[in-house]
Structure formats: structure tokens, C-alpha cells
Amino acid sequence: MKDKKLVLKDGTLFEGISYAADKDFIGELVFNTSMVGYQEIATDPSYKDQIVVMTYPLIGNYGVNADDGESKKCHLVAMICHEYNDCPSNFRYTQTLSEMFLDSDCGLFGGIDTRQLTRIIRDKGSQIGLITDVDKPLDECLKIINDYKEPHDQVSQVSTKRKFVSRGIYAKYHVVCIDFGTKMNIIRKLNEKKCNVTVLPYNTTADDVLALNPDGLFLSNGPGNPEDNEAAIKLVRELKGKLPIFGICLGHQIISLAYGAKTYKLDTHKMKYGHRGGNHPVKNLDTGHIEITSQNHSYAVLDDSLLNTGLRKTHINLLDNTIEGVCDDKNYVFSVQYHPESAAGPEDSEYLFDKFINNMKQFGGKKNA
């Protein structure tokens, strides 16, 4: 443990304790309202280059284990908490959270008023923060922050470099997953639905996909600006109508862009700190049902831009009325902005995986008719 401080762009300081790697950390400050799931959050590739503030006051008390990670390492820059417990009580735990962060060379910063910090982010929007030594001069800290450049092309850094296959028991369908930073629980859910899943890199071509003769295409979650992913946008345009397509989070945004809609960063519209947590209410416009959802995104699809694209709005966020789902019924394409795989989070939206299975079944019957 070592005394550190968090410096915000406006000069606000928070002094606390570092429990992991002893070095400077800089990134976009965001907050997550989940009460549990810190291991899943830390290992979610969508958090790349971000410092995550946990609003729940205590983390670390159940440790981490070998089964619940969403990838093989931490992808966030650092995690900030009010109180950290380094003595877990859980029969499943294999490491403490600080040990996992040390292995990934990430920051774990605690002992500060996370309520005050969350209010700053909520009121002023997401901003750059620096975790550094307590004796580093403020002017030097602010220069580092002001010189920080927003990262781009993050998907290429988290995507798989080679093809791999995850097989389901008694599999009936073959799904190709384009990996923009896939959470492993998505693949687990597809396996549970009797799908073999072939995972391919982010820059895979349409010919590469069709050569595998899949029953469906899945577009994963991932970090960064969706407009950076030109190859994936082209892929959707070329495969639309040739097989069922399902997208989650970044995959949802890429599908929307491929159809001609536009995306924007939430710090410029509506909720200026993005959506992150396990308790966001979403309305299914087809059924009228309200789903409590898990979310993690800074970008959204611009509502007005859907006009004349061939996509219709299927879900909205009840906190700010942003788009949470779109669909092209004719071509068996649909997507959601939130995370129905529920890792961590509620299971209200698992029916979407069944919808994908049903689309593949119907499309296969139509193709063979």
C-alpha cells in the first residue's frame, strides 16, 4: 500500500491509498453503479483506457476466481473505491482483487469519498483523471492531463489475433462471432443455446465469414468510438440479408452505422456520463415490458438518424429515452445497446439469445424452401 492522489482536470484532488501497481495511471473517469461484479467489470475489454469509479462503497470482500472473468486479464486502467477489503471470505476465491490487478499492472485506488467523485462526474460529465504520487506538483499533474490524447482504434488492441472455436453441447447451430472485445459470458450463453461459436478478429472480411458457412453472425461489445470500425461497418453492409445478424453494445452501434444511422458520445447529449451499471430500466417497445439491464457504453445511436434506414426502434432507456435496440425484421437483423448476457447483472433480457436462435431457425428454413 502507498499513499496516492487522484487529480481531475479542473484541479480537484482526492488523496487515498494505492493497493496495486505503483505507478501513474491516466484515463477517462467513469462510474459504475453495480453492487457486485467488480471482477467482470475489471476484465471487460469495453473498459479499456478507462478509470472506473465503483459507487458501491465496499469492494474486494468476495475476492476473484478462475471462472467469472470476462477475459484473461484486466483491461481498465484502474478501479477506484471507497473501501477495499483485501481479506476475502468466499469458498470460490483464488486471488484477492489487488493480486489480480498487480498481475495485469493496473491500478486499485481506495480510501476516498466516491460519493463526491461520482457527483462531480454526474454533474460535469466524464473527464480525464490522473492517479499519481501525493507529492507530485499540481501544475505538473495538470500538464499531463491536458496533454493526454483521446485513444482511438482500441478494438484492434483487444480483439483476438487468431480464430478460435468454443463448442456447445449437442450443438445445432454454427455462429461466427466478430470479436471487438467479446465478453466471455456472451459466448457461454450461445454455447448454452446449443451453438458452436467461431470467434474471428475484428477486421474479418465478408468472404472469410461466408467461407465458414455459419447459420448466424454475432457482433460483440467492445471499447471506443464505433466510427473507428470501418471494416466492420462494411462487413455488415455486405452480409445484410445473407444470414441472421445479432449485435450487442458496440455491435449494435456498428449495425446502426452500416444502415446509415449516426452515433454520438453521451457526454454531448442527454446523460453526459454514459450508462454503466446493473440497474438501468429499458422498455421493450414491442411488448411494453420493462427490463432491468446491465449497461456499459459512452456512445449511443442518434434517434432522428434512423429515419429511412430500414431499421426500427425496438427498445428505449427510461432514464433518458436514448435508443437501446433496433431491428430490421425483413433481413433478420437486430441489436441491443445493453448486455443481455448479464455478467454481472440481471437476467431479464436473456430472451434475446432465444430470438437469435429462432431467427437462425427461420432463416435456415426459408433458405432451404
Matching residue, cell 483487444? 158
Same domain for 159 and 140? no
Q: How far apart are CA 304 and CA 44, in angstroms?
A: 30
Helix, coil or strand: residue 185: helix
Full residue range of the structural domain in which residue 235 is found: 155-368
Helix, coil or strand: residue 222: coil
Same domain for 160 and 90? no
Same domain for 319 and 173? yes
CATH number, domain of 229, equals 3.40.50.880
The DSSP line for 77-136 is SEEE-SEE-SS---TT--B-HHHHHHHTT-EEEESS-HHHHHHHHHHH-SEEEEEEETTS
Residue where one domain finishes, among candidates 92, 121, 147 = 147
Same domain for 133 and 36? yes
Same domain for 130 and 207? no
Residue where one domain finishes, among candidates 126, 147, 168 = 147
Same domain for 286 and 306? yes
Matching residue, cell 487515498? 16
CATH number, domain of 11, equals 3.50.30.20
Q: How far apart are CA 105 and CA 25, in angstroms?
A: 10
Q: What sign does the CA torsion over 76, 80, 83, 84 have?
A: positive
- How would you classify residue 310: left for phi > 0, otherwise alpha for psi between -120 and 50, otherwise beta? left
Same domain for 186 and 314? yes
Same domain for 102 and 163? no
Write down the pLDDT at residue 369: 46
Same domain for 190 and 97? no
Q: How far apart are CA 239 and CA 71, in angstroms?
A: 28
Catalytic residue among 249, 252, 280, 315: 249
Matching residue, cell 446502426? 256
Alpha-carbon distances, residue 143 vs 9, 58, 75, 133, 279 (angstroms)? 9, 32, 25, 15, 37
Q: How far apart are CA 129 and CA 15, in angstroms?
A: 13
Does residue 339 carry a catalytic annotation? yes
Residue where one domain finishes, among candidates 125, 147, 169 = 147
Helix, coil or strand: residue 221: coil
Catalytic residue among 28, 70, 324, 341: 341
Does residue 87 carry a catalytic annotation? no
Same domain for 128 and 226? no
Catalytic residue among 280, 297, 315, 339: 339
Q: How far apart are CA 320 and CA 272, in angstroms?
A: 10
Write down the pLDDT at residue 7: 98
Same domain for 246 and 110? no
Q: How far apart are CA 14 and CA 278, in angstroms?
A: 26
**What residues of the chain score a pLDDT lower than 70?**
267-271, 365-369
Same domain for 132 and 164? no
Q: How far apart are CA 75 and CA 230, in angstroms?
A: 23
Query: Quick check: 15 and 134 in contact, CB under 8 A?
Result: yes
What total of structural domains would you count in the chain? 2
Does residue 249 carry a catalytic annotation? yes
Write down the pLDDT at residue 270: 54
| 208 contacts: CB under 8 Å, gap ≥ 6 | 200
